[in-house]
Amino acid sequence: MKKLVYLLLFLPLALWAQDKEKETKKEEPVKIKLAEKQILRKGNDLFKQKRYVDAEVKYKKALKENPNYGTAGYNLGNAVYEQNRFEEALPQYELVAKSNLKLETREKAFHNIGNVMMKNKQYDKAVDAYKKSMLLNPNDEETRYNLALAQKLLKDQQNDQNQDQNKDKNKDKNQDQNQDQDQDQNSENKDQNEDQGENDKKDKNENEGDNEDDQDDQQDQKDQGDKNEQKKQPQPNQLSQQQIQQLLEAMNNEENKTQKKVNAQKAKGKKVDQEKDW
């Protein structure tokens, strides 16, 4: 039981000692060999001559000799940045900012992270990076200027986004209003067309009724005309006195003609005695 108590008492002390030992190891400066420094200097000379590709090669060689060489890592990021390969320079700066023990190098790394974010128009991240750089070196006027510029650009960007959002909202609102107006207009036109259709149908029915009435009138007139014609034409067994007289006279004439023909035939057939001259 006593052993357990001693363990519980001394365990936190042991853990604290381990953490302290780790912190002590971290605080120990990275030992840079002379050969690594010479490679770095050659790279710096090439960088000053704006031979950024050749400088990049030297910095990578120095890091190959010593991956913890923070200055070489920072300078490598600068060589890549000057070649406009901003996305490749960013992780190099971030690595230096997190791991390098030299405050000056970390401050510069955060500053250049802000520069990369400015290139990408990510002004909110640029502001954050410049603020971290200012915490490490409050007297850096260049970082202060860049921070103020990033804050202004961020504000302008946010205003533009808000204006765009308002434009989109107004556009959507206008579209909805136009759609509602179009629907109302279409509905009104539809109602008008239906009313017009009903009126046209009514007029058509009235016209058809009028036409039927006209047809009936025409039929009545025709029937009346037929009746009149029928009145003008003699009906069977209904001869007038004048017609009867005419028929009798015609019959008499025919009879006289017939009688004359008969008499003519009789005279022509009569035998005539001839005197003989002997």
Residue 98 lies in a domain: no
Structural domain of 127: 103-171
Q: What is the pLDDT of residue 218?
A: 60
106/113 Cα distance (integer angstroms): 10
Q: The CATH number of the domain where 135 resides is what?
A: 1.25.40.10
Q: What is the dihedral of CA 87, 89, 94, 97, to 10 degrees?
A: -150
pTM above 0.85, yes or no: no
In angstroms, how far apart are the furthest CA atoms of the chain? 216
134 phi/psi in degrees, rounded to 5: -65, -35
The model's pLDDT over 203-249, given as tens digits with 9 standing for 90+, comes to 555 555 555 555 555 655 555 544 444 333 333 444 566 766 776 77
Domain count, the chain: 2
Instruction: Retrieve residue 239's tokens.
Output: 């001869």
More confident residue, 67 or 197: 67
More confident residue, 20 or 183: 183
Amino acid at 166: N
Cα distances (angstroms) measured from residue 274 to each of 49, 268, 278: 179, 16, 12
Residue 121 lies in a domain: yes
Do 69 and 126 lie in one domain? The reply is: no
231/97 Cα distance (integer angstroms): 130
Residue 178 lies in a domain: no
Residue written as token pair 């300078």: 75
Instruction: Retrieve residue 7's tokens.
Output: 């363990």
Asked whether residue 104 carries a pLDDT value surpassing 70, the answer given is yes
Instruction: Check: CB of residue 96 under 8 Å from CB of residue 106.
Output: yes
229/219 Cα distance (integer angstroms): 15
- Of 49, 53, 56, the C-alpha closest to 74 is 56
Do 37 and 67 lie in one domain? The reply is: yes
**Strand ranges for the chain from DSSP E:** none
Instruction: Check: CB of residue 150 under 8 Å from CB of residue 130.
Output: yes
Indicate the residue among 171, 204, 230 that finishes a domain: 171
Average pLDDT of the chain, as a whole number: 75
Of 1-15, 173-187, 211-225, 253-267, the range with the lowest mean pLDDT is 1-15
Do 112 and 78 lie in one domain? The reply is: no
